[in-house]
């Protein structure tokens, strides 16, 4: 069953999209946890980091590259955090691989 992120890719539900190419889509999180909170997702339906196969290597690499480019375009010159929650212990709620780009405030460590 397609996740809510597939519906965003397919433009069935709206999102504030900041970047798109053939591989990835990036859009602002609906419930931001930092002044900048953008989700970078592969267009390919991959559920989580646990579901990666070797053929996904370029896709995931592209998502990370895109995150870095967006961080620069958002002016996150003092740093930022890139997070991928995986599974229930990791706090993943949406079953479509995504990277959270968080910035614009000082992050704490360790995360909760
Ligand atoms: P997870 O907990 O799975 O790592 O993160 C899922 C993220 O997706 C959450 O930060 C949540 O706010 C965001 N999210 C859930 N539904 C929507 C939606 O419909 N639109 C957008 N833009 N973000 C969403």
pLDDT tens for residues 45-72? 999 999 999 999 999 999 999 999 999 9
**pTM tops 0.95:** yes
pLDDT tens-digit readout, 77-108: 999 999 999 999 999 999 999 999 999 999 99
> Quick one: 101 exposed, middle or buried, by C-beta within 10 A (0-12, 13-18, 19+)?
buried
Ligand 1 binding pocket mutation candidate from 11, 26, 29, 102 (most atoms within 8 A of CB): 29
95 ligand 1 Cβ < 6 A: no
Phi-psi domain of 47 (left: phi exceeds 0; alpha: psi -120 through 50; beta: other): alpha
CA of 65 to the centre of ligand 1 (A): 21
Which atom, in ligand 1's list, is nearest to the CA of 83?
Answer: 4
Q: Which token pair is 109?
A: 């460590």
Predicted pLDDT at 70: 98
């Amino acid at each position: 069953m397609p996740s809510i992120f597939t519906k965003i890719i397919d433009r069935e539900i709206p999102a504030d999209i900041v970047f798109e190419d053939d591989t990835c889509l990036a859009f602002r999180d609906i419930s931001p946890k930092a002044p900048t909170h953008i989700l970078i997702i592969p267009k390919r339906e991959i559920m989580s980091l646990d579901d990666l196969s070797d053929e996904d290597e370029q896709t995931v690499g592209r998502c990370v590259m895109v995150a870095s480019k967006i961080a620069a375009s958002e002016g996150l010159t003092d740093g930022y955090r890139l997070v991928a929650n995986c599974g229930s212990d990791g706090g993943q709620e949406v079953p479509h691989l995504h990277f959270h780009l968080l910035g614009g405030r000082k992050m704490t460590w360790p995360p909760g």
